[in-house]
Amino acid sequence: MEKSIFKTLLIILSLSIFFISLTLNAFTYDYQGVKTMSSISCFLMGSTAILGGGLLEWIVWLANPLCLISIFCLIMDKPIAQKINIAAVILAMSFYSWNSILAAESGTSGKILSVKNGYFIWLASIVILTVGTFWYFKRYKEIKYTD
């Protein structure tokens, strides 16, 4: 497969899975009753979580712009995309180990009751991008000769 086609298909696949994840619920938590957080809410509000005291939530959200930066690096054939993707995967996976999440701007936490399909599909989009990026740079590695 030609390298530009591979890159294009990888990016389209990863972004398609990401957009599908936005239509699903991410997790449920208990704060003044059981509440469900949609993936689109996490995506849209995650960038401002730091303003309400959600430093850790914001750090996990940074997996999204890291993936975007990695896509731009991949398009420009910059191998740094691999390292950026690894950072995004680590950040995204770290959420799974959490027991609670910021539930109110007052700093009150809510217990995470369950992680839903939206999270796992979001994580899958990042993992697919990461694996594909590594495969791309391994398969289409250009040998550079110096005179």
- What is the band of 13 on the pLDDT scale with cuts at 50, 70, 90? very high
Boundaries of every domain in the chain: 3-139
What does the chain come to in residues? 147
pLDDT band with cut points at 50, 70 and 90 for residue 51: confident
Q: Is the pLDDT score of 50 beyond 70?
A: yes
Mean pLDDT score, 127-141? 94
The three-class DSSP label of residue 65 is helix
pLDDT category at 5 given cuts 50, 70, 90 is very high
Overall pTM > 0.85:
yes
> CA-to-CA distance for 93 and 71, rounded, in angstroms?
19
